[in-house]
């Protein structure tokens, strides 16, 4: 386990994350952290997993503040990072052989205040992509994109790599599939592996159900920069539930902002990547979190190696 807590270092290495953290960093007990976990199984490494979890400890919506009573329950916006931690708990118990796993928990509070980031800011990501902020309540993708880029850099030299983001990201996924299902979206290389279908099958067998969504050209077009000043638009200014393809487009943003767009199925170095939106499956509020999607992921990647 290693923890990055120096606020200047976080701003330098993860500038999109740093924007979300900006207001919270003014209060010492609210300052962000990026937590890295690593597991290396016995024997030669045959597979390497890279997991990035959204760890928004509280989401006010920032400058685009959550109004109308919908802020309640936003302490649960860290279930993606919790899933990464839970997966590592399974690794520590089961000790699968031939598997290496690198996890990252992007822990940050999306606070509102005089120093919070705002719509119309243009921030250059770790990958060198100019991102125009459209909605500060789309903070999860901001918190994860640079950390995903960091793990992408490691994946380029890893053995049989596969990348994932896990997040309670959108209300749209609940509108699309209901409250009990995780959604999974593959990029081209992951789709060639039938990754989503295999994880869905594992989830069906172990009572951790998935629905498969598909990335389309429209999702990338949605996030293309609308002027000469930015390369990528972070989000529109409508709720995801009122936006067409509201849970699919964030995966395209994460691919574009992290530089994964250069590692598609026809590139010299294709990298399989899948985005998991667990806003529905993570559990009700009020209520107890479910632990989704760690059972299905363990069934797919851990249990066969034990």
Q: Catalytic pick from 100, 141, 191, 245?
A: 141
Is 97 labeled as catalytic in the residue annotation?
A: no
Token pair of 30, please?
Answer: 């609210």
Cα dihedral 133, 136, 137, 143 sign: positive
Is 66 labeled as catalytic in the residue annotation?
A: yes
Q: Catalytic pick from 66, 95, 130, 262?
A: 66
Token pair of 224, please?
Answer: 């293309």
Residue burial 171-201, b: 16+ Cβ < 10 Å; e: rest: bbbbbbbeeebbbbbbbbbbbeeebbeebbe
Active site residue ranges: 66, 141
């Amino acid at each position: 386990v290693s923890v990055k807590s120096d606020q200047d270092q976080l701003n330098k290495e993860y500038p999109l994350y740093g924007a979300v953290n900006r207001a919270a960093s003014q209060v010492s007990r609210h300052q962000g952290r990026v937590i890295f976990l690593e597991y290396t199984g016995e024997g030669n490494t045959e597979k390497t997993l890279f997991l990035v979890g959204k760890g928004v400890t509280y989401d006010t919506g920032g400058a685009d503040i959550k109004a109308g009573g919908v802020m309640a329950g936003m302490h649960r916006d860290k279930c993606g990072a919790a899933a990464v931690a839970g997966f590592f708990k399974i690794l520590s118990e089961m000790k699968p052989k031939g598997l290496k796993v690198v996890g990252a928990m992007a822990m940050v509070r999306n606070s509102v205040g005089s120093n919070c980031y705002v719509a119309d800011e243009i921030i250059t990501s770790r990958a060198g992509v100019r991102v125009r902020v459209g909605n500060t309540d789309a903070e999860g993708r901001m918190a994860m994109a640079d950390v995903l880029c960091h793990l992408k850099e490691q994946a380029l030299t890893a053995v049989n790599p596969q990348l994932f983001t896990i997040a309670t990201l959108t209300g749209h996924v609940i509108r699309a599939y209901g409250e009990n299902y995780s959604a999974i979206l593959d990029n081209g290389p992951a789709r060639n592996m039938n990754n989503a279908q295999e994880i869905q099958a594992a989830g069906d067998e172990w009572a951790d159900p998935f629905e498969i969504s598909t990335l389309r050209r429209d999702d990338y077009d949605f996030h293309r920069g609308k002027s000469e000043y930015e390369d990528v638009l972070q989000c529109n200014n409508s709720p995801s539930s009122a936006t067409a393809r509201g849970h699919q487009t964030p995966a395209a943003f994460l691919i574009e902002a992290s530089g994964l767009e250069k590692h598609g199925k026809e590139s010299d170095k294709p990298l399989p990547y899948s985005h998991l939106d667990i806003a529905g499956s993570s559990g009700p509020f009020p209520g107890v979190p479910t632990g989704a999607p760690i059972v299905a992921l363990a069934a797919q990647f851990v249990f066969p190696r034990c």
